[in-house]
Structure 1
């Protein structure tokens, strides 16, 4: 008696189930039209959308097809204009209003971040200006100024070091206080 190997039996049992599963999957090649209805629900079909769907709600058309010859309903004024049918041979690419809104928000956020960074830089410049002016006032006051050197020792500025520091403080104040 000849025995059938177990993998062949499993393969024979799985083939019909696999065929059934593949036939139940949607066929992407048939769904050429994509549109949104009045409730905002997206539909895909191999047939054109119903006549009551305005052209602005048609997201995708078949690549070889021209727009259907159907009456368009004007878009509400709040939506930003009226629906205009595409001319034959014109690009059928549609922009999604939600995508445009996201892009506009991203641009606004980027502009706000840029403005905040400019404000931060201006604040730093004002702070640096005030510090430079304070240092210049101290140097020009004639009071003794002491600093701590690299060894941690306290040393008093002499006249030559004071004049060099005064020149540097003036240059810093001129650059920061515009």
Structure 2
């Protein structure tokens, strides 16, 4: 198979290299939400150096260096076993701390739980306040019905009607039930 370098092959090769070089000029970093971000532009200024995974030119972020050292004296001495275990692993002091838990994720989770608790508490306070208002209105209505004052109501046609004794007694019974329900209930905790 005889391969001749023709302008067509040369152009295709150069175009292929251009695409490969443009793909190599990519930035990669971990965003504030914990997701990887790929871009042909540098990360924002608020992204820390330790969160940058890849930069153009093949530079990568420094990974933590863990060196394992063993000593024969520590392995033979049973009393020095805890000290030997601590001396075996040396961690680079500049390396980021890996705890197994994402501090930002934990903080967000705690914040959401606090917001949910605050929202629930606000709703409970709203119910308690509405209950207290209903109690006060019902007590005033009971006092009004028991006072003997003539009370008028509006019918379906929009006309005023004076309540007779039977309607007054049924309304007093209904309002008294509201007082019993809302006023005698202990406050929700």
Give me the TM-score of the superposition, normalised by structure 2. 0.56
Shift of 1:154: 0.6
1:114 alignment partner in structure 2: 120
| Deviation string, structure 1 residues 154-175 (Cα, Å, up to 9, x no partner) | 1000000001101101111111
Structure 1 runs (4+) greater than 6 angstroms displaced: 7-10
Query: Unpaired runs of 5+ in structure 1?
Result: 1-6, 28-38, 53-68, 74-82, 84-91
1:142-153 alignment to 2 at 5 Å? Answer: 142-153=148-159
Q: Is the 8 A contact 2:52 2:61 kept in 1?
A: no
* Residue range with higher mean Cα deviation, 8-17 or 139-148: 8-17
Shift of 1:10: 6.9
1:23-38 alignment to 2 at 5 Å? Answer: 23-25=24-26
Structural RMSD (CA): 3.5
Q: Is the 8 A contact 2:50 2:62 kept in 1?
A: no
Which of residues 160, 163, 166 is equivalent to 2:169?
A: 163
1:42 alignment partner in structure 2: 51
Is 1:70 matched up with 2:89?
Answer: yes
CA distance in 2 between partners of 1:24 and 1:96 (Å)? 29
Shift of 1:48: 5.3
Q: 1:93 to 1:41 in 2, by over 3 A?
A: closer
Query: Unpaired runs of 5+ in structure 2?
Result: 1-7, 29-47, 54-59, 68-87
Please state which structure has a larger fraction of its residues in helix: 2
Shift of 1:20: 2.5
1:82-93 alignment to 2 at 5 Å? Answer: none
